[in-house]
Amino acid sequence: MLLKALAAAKRRLLNNECALEQHRGELAQIEAEWNSIWMEAGIRPQTSKEMQSWLEIAGKIRQLKSNLEVAGEQRRNASELENWQTSGATALRGLPVSSFADPATVQEVLRVIDQVFSPRKKRPGRSIESTP
């Protein structure tokens, strides 16, 4: 009985040693992948726990970059709006509307202009010339 227990213990030990070697190989592969990922960016990595603060800083930098891109887009939009206001002011010269007028007022004036210059629909039996 004691010999059977000893033989079983040796088998478990051998199985555990094989499993340990397998896990060491997997760990070496994971560490190699970890290092290669960082090396592509020119960074000599530390452990994942040690790199956590670096990752937090990198996240803040990405957010700042995103904010700068949004600000740039807003700046371009403001420039486009300024160009539109300038061209709108030019187009409104000669009309009874200030270039600083309320946009709703300008829209109303433009609607009236469109109505004046749009082709009139002919009514049956009447022509434009016969309209009083």
pLDDT in tens, 19-30: 999 999 999 999
Mean pLDDT of the chain: 77
The total number of structural domains that make up the chain:
1
Summarize the confidence of residues 30-54 as an average pLDDT.
82
30 found inside a domain: yes
User: Quick check: is 121 in a domain?
Assistant: no
130 assigned to some structural domain: no
Q: Whole-angstrom Cα distance, residue 70 to residue 82?
A: 18
CA distance 10 to 108: 95
Whether 31 is covered by a domain: the verdict is yes
Shortest CA distance to 99 belongs to which of 85, 113, 82?
85
How would residue 120 be classed by pLDDT, with cut points 50, 70 and 90? low
Give the pLDDT confidence score for residue 26 in this predicted structure: 95
> Cα 84 to the chain's mean position, in Å?
26
- 47 is in which domain, residue-wise? 7-115
**pLDDT band at residue 124 under the 50/70/90 scheme:** low
| pTM value > 0.95 | no
Q: For residue 11, is it within any domain?
A: yes
35 to 22, 29, 66, 78: CA distances (angstroms): 20, 10, 27, 45
Q: Are 96 and 105 in contact (CB under 8 A)?
A: no
Instruction: Identify the pLDDT of residue 74.
Output: 86
Q: How far apart are CA 93 and CA 19, in angstroms?
A: 86
